Every structure is written in C-alpha cells, then in structure tokens.
Amino acid sequence: MYMWPKEIQQIIAEVLHAKNPIFCLEKFKNYEPAKKITFLLFDGNQTTNFRHIIHDYSLSKYSIVNLGNYANTAIITTSMLLDKKNISAIKTAYSVNIDSNIASMLPRILKSKPIDPDFFNFLIYIKENDLDLNISPYLLEDSLNSSGMKNEARAYECLLSFFSFSNLSLQQLYSLPCSPDIIAYNHADDAWSQMKYSRFYEKNDEKRVRSIYCFLLKVYIIEFCSKKSPRNKLIELVDFINTTLGIYLESGLLLAYWYFEKSYNCVSDFFQKIQPGAKDKLKKIEGMAWDLFHLWDIPTEMSVQSHKYNTIILQAFATHDDALAQIAKLNPIIRIAFYEQEVQIKYKLSLSNFLHNDPIIDSIIDNQEQRECLCDTVNLIELSNQLEHEFLNTIK
C-alpha cells in the first residue's frame, strides 16, 4: 500500500470511511486509474446472494470463521457506476484456509486408529457442504518458521493426507482409513518441492511474520518488565513501532491494548500462552506470530486470488485454536479495497474508538513517513535477535 499512487490512496481512504461509500465513489467514476479498484462492503443492511456460498462452523474448538459479515457482501467499482444498465455477472467463490493445527490432524484419515469424534464431525461438515480447502497456511508456516520441517516424513504425510482428503467422497470418509492414489502423491510431491525450495532459498527473506514476531516480543517485554498503566504501555509500544520497527500493525496495536487492559478473555487466553516459567517461549511466540499472520494475510490472499481467477473469492479460516477464532470474531472486517493485488482494510474497531482525541493517535499519524523510511531499511533478523535477548533477560 505504501507504493500506491497518492491519488489512489486518497480515493480508497475516502470510500472506506464514507457514510455512503457508493455516493463517495461516484465522485471518482470518471477517473481512469480508479477503475482498477474493487471495493467489498460487508456493513450494509442488505443480505446478498453471497449468503448461499458461505459457512460458519463451531464445535468443540473446531471453527470456520468468516472475517466479516460475508452474507452482506456488496461489490462496487467505478465501472458499475458508469454503466449500471450493463453490469455483467460477477463470478464468486468461497474457500477455507486451514490452520496448521488442522493440517497436522489430517494424517489420521490414513491410519487404522479411531478418529476423535469432534474432528470427524468437522470433516463430515466439510464434505457435506463441498467446501474448498486451502492448505497454503501450512505450506508457508512449516517451510519458513525456525523449527519447521524437522520431521520431514511427518510434513510429507500432512500434504499427502490433505490431497487425499480433497478427493475423498462423503461415502469414502465413512470408510476410513483411505489409501492415497497417484493423483494425491503427485500433488503432495509438487507441494513438497515448493516447501523445500522455500526452506532453502526464501526463509531469510520472509518479513511479514518476522515483523509480527518482533512486535509480540516487544509486547511481552513491556508487559513483563513495566508497572506502567495500560495507556503508558501502549505509548511505549507505539514509540517502538515509530522509531524501531517501522511497520504499522493496526490490528496488532488494538490487540496489545486489549491485552494490557485485560479487556477480553479470548485476548488474555491468547497471550497467556507465554508465562515467565514456560518452556520453549520463543518457539511459542513465533507460533503466535504465524497465527496472527494467517488471519491478517487472508484479505491479501483474497485480492491475489480474485485477480488471478477474475472471481471475487471470499476466504474463511479454519482452526482448532478457540482463542484465535474468538479474536477473529472480535474485530470483523467491514470494508476492503483491492488494488494491484494488494489490499486496504477497514475493521469495525480501531484504537481511535477507545482513545478519543488522544496524542497516541496523533503520534501514529504524524510518524507515517518515518515508518515508511524505516520499513525499507530495518534489518528484522538483527532486530528479532536483539529483542529475543532482551525478552529472555527480562523474564529471568
């Protein structure tokens, strides 16, 4: 988004925050570059045909979470406004990204051992509703995180079971275990090659998750070593973002504020995974960074996939982490703008909803250019190493 033309940034900002987004976009319908922008609105009063393709599931910590009220989805572009009488049909699709904790359970379908009933019911629901699953979160996480792919046989088995399950009928699901066919092996081999390539050649270039990891380390450093008020803790965190990290994580700041304030049980449960006496603390924080990345990256994937297939693709998230699922529901997306396969998002809540006319908000706005410069130069590997050292010394 930093690289978008200023005019595009302005149009998107105005429409995302407008009381009447359609009327707002009307002002720009004759501006040629605006044709490349697609807006998805989830906050209207109408229920649209999208309600027929979406799903919401929750049983015994197994969840399928939509990141907004997809049943209300409305699409607007300047092309639609220019020729309202000749609007062609829009292709739509719905897919479910599965978390690594779900992917790691799938090999059970290849075994003769009984499957946990709640997990089996989750699999039945997927087949009964013919849901399209996406294993990309697992592919990214296990190939790029610091401890991934250590058990290569186990990692390959996860891939093989996923592609076997993808081709499984509901009747076959009731006749487990299943035997992978040649198609499943071919797909698993291709995905495995992709993971190995990422592991060897792209691991040190990954910046998005590492920035969240640095952010979480700083959150814990502030929480464990400071007796300041929640607001003053937030001031320290914002200063770190403005002067050191250089990456503005809007949802992350709100999440940290709720953690400092102890506002919501699900947020506390999510952060309670790390305690001073806990084992493998850095590994767990890295896992939390990946969890948040999967949630926050879904809109970008929606934009990329929608552009690639010329289809509006809504994506949900399936997880066995109840705290993460509740966090996703806590602050839903209400509007999205797609442009050049990137995305800008408006969530229902932001810090400004809780800190009215607060200098903290001014600090975030005033330091945007400074953050953008930092974003281009910050060495996240060095920064994460420094923060790890500080974090481990803090909680001795």
Query: How do residues 174-183 score in pLDDT, each as one tens digit?
Result: 999 999 999 9
Judge whether 175 lies within some domain.
yes
- Given 145, 173, 201, the domain boundary residue is 201
- Given 158, 179, 201, the domain boundary residue is 201
Q: Is 297 exposed, middle or buried (0-12, 13-18, 19+ CB in 10 A)?
A: buried
Q: What is the pLDDT of residue 302?
A: 95
* Residue 148 domain boundaries: 93-201
Claim to verify: residue 103 and residue 189 sit in the same structural domain:
yes
Claim to verify: residue 273 and residue 370 sit in the same structural domain:
yes
Q: What is the pLDDT of residue 83?
A: 73
Claim to verify: residue 258 and residue 389 sit in the same structural domain:
yes
Return d(Cα 376, Cα 247) in angstroms, integer: 10
Closest to 54 in 3D by CA, of 314, 270, 320: 314
DSSP per-residue codes, 280-295: SHHHHHHHHHHHHHHH
Q: What is the pLDDT of residue 1?
A: 56
Judge whether 35 lies within some domain.
no
pLDDT tens for residues 245-286?
999 999 999 999 999 999 999 999 999 989 888 889 999 999
Judge whether 130 lies within some domain.
yes
Question: What total of structural domains would you count in the chain?
Answer: 2
Claim to verify: residue 238 and residue 359 sit in the same structural domain:
yes
Q: What is the pLDDT of residue 87?
A: 58
pLDDT tens for residues 87-135?
567 889 999 999 999 999 999 999 988 899 999 999 999 999 999 999 9
Judge whether 55 lies within some domain.
no
Q: What is the pLDDT of residue 88?
A: 62
The Cβ of residue 21 has, within 10 Å, a number of other Cβ atoms equal to 21
Q: What is the pLDDT of residue 84?
A: 65
Q: What is the pLDDT of residue 262?
A: 94
- Residue tagged 């978008």 (tokens): 4
The list of the chain residues with pLDDT below 70 reads 1-2, 84-88, 396
Claim to verify: residue 256 and residue 111 sit in the same structural domain:
no
Judge whether 13 lies within some domain.
no
Question: Tokens for 385?
Answer: 């190493």
Q: What is the pLDDT of residue 243?
A: 96
- Given 201, 217, 245, the domain boundary residue is 201
